[in-house]
Amino acid sequence: MLQRLRKPWSDNRAERLLGAVSFLACLTVACMVVFVAIHAWPTFEHNGLSWLGSGGSLSEQVERMLATSANPPASAFHIRVWPILYGTLLATGLAVLLALPLAVLSSIFIVELAPAPVRRVMIIVVRLLASVPSVIYGLIGILVLVPFVGAHLVTSAERTSLQNTVQLTGAGLVVAVVLLTVMITPIMVALTCDALGAVPAAWREGAAALGVNRLRAIRAVTLRAIRPAIVAATVLATARALGEAIVISMVSGSVFFAPRPSDGAAFLLEPFRSFASTIVDFREGLGAPALSATLYACALLLLFSAFALSVAGYLVKLPMRKYQVKG
Amino acid sequence: MHRIRRIAASLAAVTLIGSAVPAIASATSVITISGATASYPLVQLLAHKYAKLLHNKVSFRISQGGAQIGINDVAAGRVTIGDVSRDPLSTDPPGLVFYPIAKYAICVVTNKANPLSNLTEAQVQAIFTGKDREWSQIPGATATGTIDLISRTSTAGVLTNFKTLFLGNKSVSKLAAEEPSEGLLEQQVVNDPKAIGFLSNYRADSGTVNPVGYNGVGCSLANASSGQYAAVARFYEVTKGKATGAAAKFISWIDTSKVAKKIVASQWIPD
Amino acid sequence: MSSTFVSDSLAAIPPRRGRRSSLRTWRWSDRLVLLAAWVAGLSLCAITAAIILYMGYRGVQYLRPGLIFSRPQVSKDQAGSGGFLDPLIGTALLTLIGIAIAAPMAICSALWIVEYGHGGRTRQFLTRIVESSIEIVAGTPDIVIALFGLAIFQLHILAFVSFVGEGGGVYGKSFLAAGAMMSLIALPPLFVATRDGLQAVPAHMREAAFALGKTRIATIRRVLLPSVRANIATGITLGVSRIIADTAIVLVLLGETLRTEPQGGVPGLGVLRGTGSTLTSYVYENSPAGEGAAPQKAYAAAVVLMLFVLVLNLAVEWITRAQARSSGSIAIAGGIV
């Protein structure tokens, strides 16, 4: 048999082998969805979709789940995770909102405006920012930013006015959003820069020939042309921000609280939790079946949101197909 | 080329089989432990010493999460021993056996910039249930403004004991920040001059926070050992049914050996 | 008369490449955007400089060579708690396992898609599925991959990956388990790099090989793979930097023991089935988010981690610069996504 293996392989055999290995990836994704869904099923069985609604104190519900180990009664599965959903949407939304203009402006700077040596430095800078581990962002956040915010940005008036609702310690929305923005900007910058570089020079020269100044040309022509790339970058950045668990777990204050815009400026200083950070915070509690089902349900939600984002990105890019620029 | 490959392959096979033979002969047993963050330093020291004494015939895997996690894991058969920092409750799953290994004191702590020296029982209850929200209502405190309550998540045994020993079974205010570990609670108190929380004496004595006296007695290892300080609780090792095998030997070593007692006495109170 | 003279002399001046001369004719909104772009770019530089300088300052404060070579000890204070040799070895081990599993998968998938992926409708549909799956894996948060790993490795069929606890429950956490999930993290960058490299190989190289009578598989082995070596190297470097930076999978799937604890008697396999820690979990556990007992050690380990990341970045930069010199493109995204 070794002799047979040592002879040159036929194309058919090689193709089948390569194809089989390629389908391992598909198999993995399918298994991922199936297993996570199976473990998450008890939560949906007992709560249905109102699982995402609001009602009752989330920390009490989690405490009840932790107190039941094997064979929990049906009442143990009751949970309403609205504060977590709200916290996730808030942190992700604000981060993407801040990162989008920052990324687009930086890309314009790198590709169009920077002198050559500065451009080389910027490319290194962006790559570096993208590869800094999230635990280091979290470390700097919890040891530098959180005490700074707690000592200088939280005023006594705010603390007193909220003292019967929630505690403001500095760990909260603003530090989490700032760190998330810094983490997702390099991804967006990378994709936007590549797209900017792919815009045909003839288009910009045409605008220049019409007497439009450089920045106007960028706004009117180039930015419009790279819209598919900006959409792709936003989708990727949102997926990254949604799934970021470690940084948020370290700097968000870890309280099941839905920050209230009606509190004015204090809104940004209030603590929260996201789906990913809840999973990390309670990862030791996976032995309690009720809590394990809830955490897997959070994971399933994150998985589906990643799918949904890709599909949404694809749909948004469809009408932009008429531009020939690679998106 | 082919000859080199054949020789290399046979060498690798021989090395693998040759190294496996003596190793298979000496089997190591594994004890898995999970549970309280308050007893983690003690159990880690004990496990480390025990493994060294047995020339690494026993290896330990110790993880944390809180006393309730330890109870859940040991009841589900996921770990051999659960670290628990509170007394057994009626809601605990049946069939668990609690072996006490040490005692520890619970101290109320504040930031070092707020050197509060003593609190009475009534004051502690008023603060932690959320009745008193301002530092100005607490005599002896130099901090001003709102009191920042730092507590533990519901899995913590220290929290259960705190409620029993200090709050007369009342609940901690919902406003309190819930930290998943002692270390995090300590860090929050260190970072925030207006914070107040509670820690086991191992952390409260470390010099980073200000331990507050309770009902006139300072919270320190000496006072707790002598019995003067009242808020003292137990660490337990919990097994499903009576402990057997390597776990039973480890627990009985903790109970009887002088070396183990020395380790316990270094920062905790022998039971 | 004079105006034509002025414009003639102006025309005689060779046009400057810069834009300063024309800035005066711009509207205020355009100047604002220009300023904003400069501020955005420079603030990114400032943030990076701040992170690197701060970590450098903490490193000079806390990092000692002895820490890298001593094993972690159990002790109350920082002075006796030893170094982080075990976490370093753990990081290296996880990286090896992750790349060992991901590299064949990624290269085979890329080869299949580029070489055999063209043809009829079914073939293109299958290609689409494989590419979408890898994109989905790329977009999945690492915490979800960690939970998935826990779900499958706690099944009894896969108990050999870790061990079975006293009460009959499979532990599910070991180097093999974490390494297998790390391979999913490293797969997308490797795949994309290899696929792009293969697509960039000019058609005439394949045609020449076919004209000489080589089969497809022989072409792949002798012609294509050697020519995409640089891309594979870039992909592997990117995969490695993603693996060493990952924390969530390590926290859930590696058992979080301070030292490497082998499982069972066989020396090599025992470590693989055992638990341990990596630099990232060491930083997390020693930071205020974990047990907070040793922020100085957390800083020291974080600095070592940053150094690895910097070195890997330089490696990617060097490889892509060498490639760009021969192909002439600013390939930034290839280095990140």
Beta bridge mates, B59: B30
Give chain C's count of helices (H) and strands (E).
15, 0
Confidence at residue C328, expressed as pLDDT on a 0 to 100 scale: 47
Higher-pLDDT residue of A3 and B88 is B88
Restricting to A residues 67-106, those with a Cβ less than 8 Å away from any Cβ of B are 67, 69-70
- Asked if A313 and A231 touch (Cβ cutoff 8 Å), the reply is yes
Chain A residues with CB-CB distance to B93 below 8 A = 69-70
Q: How many CB pairs under 8 A join B and C?
A: 92
Higher-pLDDT residue of A150 and A182 is A182
As a whole number, mean pLDDT of residues A87-111 equals 94
pLDDT tens figures, C88-106 = 999 999 999 999 999 999 9
Residue-by-residue DSSP string for C73-111 = ---SSGGGSB--HHHHHHHHHHHHHHHHHHHHHHHHHHH
Chain B residues with CB-CB distance to A170 below 8 A = 191-192
Confidence at residue C266, expressed as pLDDT on a 0 to 100 scale: 65
- Asked if B112 and B208 touch (Cβ cutoff 8 Å), the reply is yes
- Of the pLDDT bands very low, low, confident and very high (cuts 50, 70, 90), residue C329 is very low
Confidence at residue C15, expressed as pLDDT on a 0 to 100 scale: 44
Confidence at residue B126, expressed as pLDDT on a 0 to 100 scale: 92
CA distance B131 to B173: 9
pLDDT tens figures, B192-209 = 888 999 999 888 888 889
**Statement: residue A320 has pLDDT above 80:** no
List % helix, strand, coil for chain C (3-state, nearest 5).
75, 0, 25
Is A22 within 8 Å of C247 when comparing Cβ atoms?
Answer: no
- Of the pLDDT bands very low, low, confident and very high (cuts 50, 70, 90), residue C108 is very high
Confidence at residue A137, expressed as pLDDT on a 0 to 100 scale: 94
CA distance B131 to B135: 12
Higher-pLDDT residue of C291 and A17 is A17
**Statement: residue B110 has pLDDT above 70:** yes
| Residue B83, both tokens | 């670290």
**Statement: residue B106 has pLDDT above 50:** yes
Q: Compute the nearest-CA separation of C80 from chain B (Å).
A: 12
**Statement: residue B26 has pLDDT above 80:** no
As a whole-number percent, the residues of chain B with pLDDT over 70 amount to 94
Confidence at residue C11, expressed as pLDDT on a 0 to 100 scale: 45
Confidence at residue A183, expressed as pLDDT on a 0 to 100 scale: 95
pLDDT tens figures, C65-75 = 888 888 877 66
Chain B residues with CB-CB distance to C81 below 8 A = none
Confidence at residue C101, expressed as pLDDT on a 0 to 100 scale: 94
**Statement: residue C36 has pLDDT above 80:** yes
When CB atoms are compared, the residue of C165, C258, C266 closest to B23 is C266
- Asked if B107 and B198 touch (Cβ cutoff 8 Å), the reply is yes
- Of the pLDDT bands very low, low, confident and very high (cuts 50, 70, 90), residue B24 is very low
Q: Which of A110-124, A211-225, B88-102 has the lowest mean pLDDT?
A: A211-225
**Statement: residue A172 has pLDDT above 80:** yes
**C293 at the B interface (CB within 8 A)?**
yes
Distances (CA, A) of C282 to C142, C285, C304: 18, 5, 12
pLDDT tens figures, C179-221 = 999 999 999 999 999 999 999 999 898 899 989 988 888 888 8
**A166 at the B interface (CB within 8 A)?**
yes
Q: How many CA atoms lie within 13 A of C7 on its CB side?
A: 3
For C163, the closest chain B residue by CA position comes to: B30
Chain B residues with CB-CB distance to C264 below 8 A = 27-28
Q: Find how far residue B129's CA is from the centre of its chain.
A: 24
| Beta strands B96-110 and B269-270, pairing class | antiparallel
- Of the pLDDT bands very low, low, confident and very high (cuts 50, 70, 90), residue B21 is very low
Q: How many CB pairs under 8 A join A and C?
A: 265
In eight-state DSSP terms, residue C188 is H
In eight-state DSSP terms, residue A292 is H
- Asked if A306 and C140 touch (Cβ cutoff 8 Å), the reply is yes
CA distance C283 to C14: 58
**Statement: residue C249 has pLDDT above 90:** yes
Confidence at residue C332, expressed as pLDDT on a 0 to 100 scale: 47
**Statement: residue B32 has pLDDT above 60:** yes
As a whole number, mean pLDDT of residues A251-274 equals 87
As a whole number, mean pLDDT of residues C107-115 equals 92
Q: Give me the interface pTM, i.e. the ipTM.
A: 0.88
- Of the pLDDT bands very low, low, confident and very high (cuts 50, 70, 90), residue C265 is low
When CB atoms are compared, the residue of C168, C257, C289 closest to B184 is C289
Sign of CA dihedral A144, A147, A152, A154: positive
Confidence at residue B157, expressed as pLDDT on a 0 to 100 scale: 86
**Statement: residue C8 has pLDDT above 70:** no
Q: Find how far residue A122's CA is from the centre of its chain.
A: 24
Q: Compute the nearest-CA separation of B41 from chain C (Å).
A: 8
Is C41 within 8 Å of A106 when comparing Cβ atoms?
Answer: yes
As a whole number, mean pLDDT of residues B258-263 equals 91
For B63, the closest chain A residue by CA position comes to: A284
- CB pairs under 8 A, 24+ apart, for B12-20? B16/C268, B19/C266, B19/C267, B19/C268, B20/C265, B20/C266, B20/C267
Instruction: Identify the CA nearest to A153 among candidates A138, A175, A183.
Output: A175
Confidence at residue B9, expressed as pLDDT on a 0 to 100 scale: 75
**B240 at the C interface (CB within 8 A)?**
yes
Chain B residues with CB-CB distance to C256 below 8 A = 63-64
- Of the pLDDT bands very low, low, confident and very high (cuts 50, 70, 90), residue C78 is low
Confidence at residue B27, expressed as pLDDT on a 0 to 100 scale: 55
**B13 at the C interface (CB within 8 A)?**
no
CA distance B199 to B221: 13
| Residue A301, both tokens | 């939600």
**Statement: residue C154 has pLDDT above 90:** no
A interface test, pick of B6, B150, B153 with most A CB neighbours within 10 Å:
B153
When CB atoms are compared, the residue of C37, C137, C247 closest to A105 is C37
**Statement: residue C23 has pLDDT above 90:** no
Number of neighbouring beta carbons within 10 Å of residue A115 = 9
Is A164 within 8 Å of B133 when comparing Cβ atoms?
Answer: yes
Beta bridge mates, B35: B64, B83
Higher-pLDDT residue of C309 and C21 is C309
- Of the pLDDT bands very low, low, confident and very high (cuts 50, 70, 90), residue C141 is very high
As a whole-number percent, the residues of chain A with pLDDT over 70 amount to 95
CA distance A241 to C310: 23
Mean pLDDT of chain C: 82
**Statement: residue C4 has pLDDT above 60:** no
| Residue B252, both tokens | 């009985």
The angle at the Cα of B209, spanning A168 to C281, to the nearest 5 degrees, equals: 75
Q: Find how far residue A250's CA is from the centre of its chain.
A: 16
Number of neighbouring beta carbons within 10 Å of residue A76 = 21
Q: Compute the nearest-CA separation of B24 from chain C (Å).
A: 5
For B43, the closest chain C residue by CA position comes to: C74
Confidence at residue A323, expressed as pLDDT on a 0 to 100 scale: 59
Is C289 within 8 Å of B32 when comparing Cβ atoms?
Answer: no
- Of the pLDDT bands very low, low, confident and very high (cuts 50, 70, 90), residue C3 is very low
Confidence at residue C13, expressed as pLDDT on a 0 to 100 scale: 46
pLDDT tens figures, B129-183 = 988 888 998 888 888 888 888 898 877 889 989 999 999 888 898 888 888 778 7
Confidence at residue A91, expressed as pLDDT on a 0 to 100 scale: 95
CA distance B69 to C149: 20
pLDDT tens figures, B76-86 = 787 889 999 88
Q: List all chains that touch chain A, counting a touch as 3 or more CB pairs closer than 8 Å.
A: B, C
Chain A residues with CB-CB distance to B144 below 8 A = 156
Mean pLDDT of chain A: 86
**B27 at the C interface (CB within 8 A)?**
yes
**A149 at the B interface (CB within 8 A)?**
no
Is A219 within 8 Å of C184 when comparing Cβ atoms?
Answer: no
Q: List all chains that touch chain B, counting a touch as 3 or more CB pairs closer than 8 Å.
A: A, C
Confidence at residue C323, expressed as pLDDT on a 0 to 100 scale: 74
Is A160 within 8 Å of B71 when comparing Cβ atoms?
Answer: no
Chain B residues with CB-CB distance to A70 below 8 A = 75-76, 93
Is C289 within 8 Å of A249 when comparing Cβ atoms?
Answer: yes
Chain C residues with CB-CB distance to B64 below 8 A = 256, 291
Residue written as tokens 């040490």? B102
Is A139 within 8 Å of C142 when comparing Cβ atoms?
Answer: no
Mean pLDDT of chain B: 85
Chain A residues with CB-CB distance to C305 below 8 A = 133, 135-136
**A243 at the B interface (CB within 8 A)?**
no
